[in-house]
Chains A and B, each alone.
Chain A
């Protein structure tokens, strides 16, 4: 059973979002990294890039496949996790901590309400 922290919100496309006073940190879930397998490359958005919720924001590539990352909320990218350039395996090892992908200065606070709760996300992956 994969870990799904109760305090985070989730996109159906397997990103997690953590809100700190309007700055939303984004990563992929434990379930998603497990399904992808060993990650070998992460392509992140650029700092300053403005994204709408649901926009393509990057790509994670494992040995076997590439998978798009979507912005869970709208806003401007204010920071990216540069450590992933040399250590993409952080996403596998600590997906909710050192394996975060990027941070967005959220422009529409209501976007968070469109995301899944931990219970809802749990239900989604059980039905997949």
Chain B
């Protein structure tokens, strides 16, 4: 059976083109709600998204200390159905969907033939089919890759551009969300285990996130998302922009596709070895991973800057033995009050290193991420 997906026409965007004569990005169902909340809109992978609603640092603290809501509707949702869905995903993904039972999700890389990461994604296992959530910037590449590998599998690949997605994160997130819902939806928010999910009508509620805090991510129709967003804001949940999303995920030690890994980087080199299931199934990228496992590879580790300043992507890291590495993501950590980074270093790097910032060497400590979990510093020095 040939896979079926086609980019959906977007009447809203076409109309915007015709009316303005100027290119406008894609807009989520919450675009007007972002403007109403004071969102500063920027282009993000072709989408007009809020970078912040005033202060990125205040938004960051709101998620660590209370609760915040993110519009992540720009992310690409793909449903994988058909009798061959399981075999297809066991071939396509480096993690093994057989590791989880229905109602559970798992994190995986989707690799190229060299073992490089085409994208990272969450796979949700349902009773008879699967849902994937992939990055928006890699949407076309991902869908083409899936289609290319679907030959020989009885599988139906269907993008769900109709769904919006909200992430509600923070120590109070689940209790505040549950208070706005009823029946099976409230029950799901209250009782789901980490990486568990439940569906009710058009809603999928998952206890997942990208912040290192407790919370849920909800996929739902756009009109429902607008209503829930308004209820959440009325309940004191702070709207959170993409700026704080990045500082939160980096404190949580989570990778950002395009920064910390890409098609030239394998999961071994991106602190994703834990997602690899090297059993006897033949998945795309398997053999290069086995080769690299034997021959060695660089590692993605954490850095904490000792003095003042800010670590940034692409700064050079100098080891005491003369070897070098590079920062892949860096920022100021609002929770720790100092700068942190993920860096790709030669295997086994530990202790103190220097980072070259504007031609000056600044000392930093090599650590094992995550940096922050549930509001507290948790990193360990290596």
Contacts and interface: CB of A to CB of B under 8 A. Distances in A.
B332 A59 contact: no
Contacts of B332: 40-41, 61, 63
B56 interface: yes
Interface in B279-338: 308-310, 312, 331-332, 334
Interface string A1-25: 0000000000000000000000000
A97 interface: no
A41 B55 contact: no
Interface string A46-75: 000000000000010101101000000000
A59 B57 contact: no
Nearest to B308: A41
B309 A64 contact: no
A88 B55 CA distance: 14
Where chain B touches its partner, the secondary structure class is mixed
Interface residues of B, number: 17
Nearest to B52: A37
A76 interface: no
Contacts of B211: none
B243 interface: yes
A43 B334 CA distance: 19
A41 B57 CA distance: 13
B358 interface: yes
Interface in B329-352: 331-332, 334, 339
A61 B246 CA distance: 16
A37 B310 contact: no
A38 B312 contact: no
B309 A63 contact: no
A66 B331 CA distance: 11
A85 B308 CA distance: 9
Given A37-B243, A40-B332, A41-B332, A63 B56 contact: yes
A66 B312 contact: yes
23 contacts: A37-B51, A37-B52, A37-B55, A37-B56, A37-B243, A38-B56, A38-B57, A41-B309, A41-B310, A41-B339, A43-B358, A59-B358, A61-B309, A61-B310, A61-B332, A63-B243, A63-B332, A63-B334, A64-B51, A64-B56, A64-B246, A64-B331, A85-B308
Given A41-B309, A63-B247, 13 more contacts: A37-B51, A38-B55, A38-B56, A38-B57, A41-B308, A41-B332, A41-B339, A43-B309, A63-B56, A63-B57, A63-B334, A64-B56, A64-B246
